[in-house]
């Protein structure tokens, strides 16, 4: 009698597992064929301004109206001169101490500090600037196209510029 009950329990358990796994495989199919995991070590960094690099993470930042994710990483003390974007810039600090300010010219006295995990939205066309107190990594997401329009291009130091004497 005990064996029979155990047998029934096992059969029920086995059928539940079977139902569960078929539901899981259907979910997997509906969601696509892969997770699309991007390993941070696989990111392709390219220099954009002196001290800062950019890496595409997801989507196509150049495409119109579709989601994208990019990352910036900058060395300690880097200043990102005043600029604006044609679309909202959603910004999450991943590492380091990042500082942002609003206006047409970088002003170290008007910076707000953001720490890892902090998030901000820079509304489209708002003029803003930033700096990294320490080496920092910042993730930006939004809907493309992602463009940086410098207020004063002369403020932008090219990535390969020689250090100032
Ligand atoms: Cu910006």
What pLDDT, on a 0 to 100 scale, did the predictor assign at position 4? Answer: 53
Query: pLDDT tens digits for 86-135?
Result: 999 999 999 999 999 999 999 999 999 999 999 999 999 999 999 999 99
The pTM score is: 0.78
Spatial separation of the C-alpha atoms in residues 25 and 58, rounded to whole Å: 25
What pLDDT, on a 0 to 100 scale, did the predictor assign at position 35? Answer: 87
% of the chain at pLDDT higher than 70: 79
What pLDDT, on a 0 to 100 scale, did the predictor assign at position 31? Answer: 55
Exposure on the CB side of residue 157, measured as CA atoms within 13 A: 12
What 145-148 contacts at long range (C-beta under 8 Å, 24+ apart), as own/partner pairs, is 145/61, 145/62, 145/63, 145/64, 145/86, 145/87, 146/61, 146/62, 146/68, 146/70, 146/85, 146/87, 146/89, 147/85, 147/86, 147/87, 148/83, 148/85
Check: CB of residue 89 under 8 Å from CB of residue 141.
no
Spatial separation of the C-alpha atoms in residues 113 and 52, rounded to whole Å: 18
What pLDDT, on a 0 to 100 scale, did the predictor assign at position 53? Answer: 98
Q: What's the CATH class of domain 2-32+44-155?
A: mainly beta
Check: CB of residue 55 under 8 Å from CB of residue 138.
no
Query: pLDDT tens digits for 14-66?
Result: 444 444 444 444 444 455 678 899 999 999 999 999 999 999 999 999 999 99
Tell me how far the alpha carbon of residue 41 lies from the centroid of ligand 1, in angstroms: 24
Query: pLDDT tens digits for 130-152?
Result: 999 999 999 999 999 999 999 99
Check: CB of residue 150 under 8 Å from CB of residue 49.
no
Tell me how far the alpha carbon of residue 136 lies from the centroid of ligand 1, in angstroms: 15
What pLDDT, on a 0 to 100 scale, did the predictor assign at position 29? Answer: 47
Tell me how far the alpha carbon of residue 125 lies from the centroid of ligand 1, in angstroms: 9
């Amino acid at each position: 009698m005990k064996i029979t009950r155990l047998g029934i329990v096992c059969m029920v358990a086995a059928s539940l597992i079977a139902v569960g796994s078929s539901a899981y495989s259907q979910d997997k199919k509906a969601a696509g064929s892969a997770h699309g995991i991007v390993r941070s070590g696989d990111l392709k960094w390219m220099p954009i301004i002196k001290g800062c690099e950019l890496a595409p993470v997801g989507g196509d930042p150049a495409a119109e109206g579709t989601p994208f994710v990019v990352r910036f990483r900058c060395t300690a003390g880097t200043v990102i001169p005043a600029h604006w974007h044609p679309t909202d810039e959603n910004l999450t600090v991943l590492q380091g101490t990042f500082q942002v300010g609003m206006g047409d010219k970088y002003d170290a006295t008007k910076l707000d500090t953001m720490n890892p995990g902090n998030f901000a939205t820079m509304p489209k066309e708002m003029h803003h600037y930033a700096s990294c107190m320490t080496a920092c990594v910042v993730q930006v997401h939004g809907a493309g196209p992602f463009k940086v329009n410098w207020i004063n291009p002369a403020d932008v130091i090219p990535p390969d510029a020689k250090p100032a004497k």
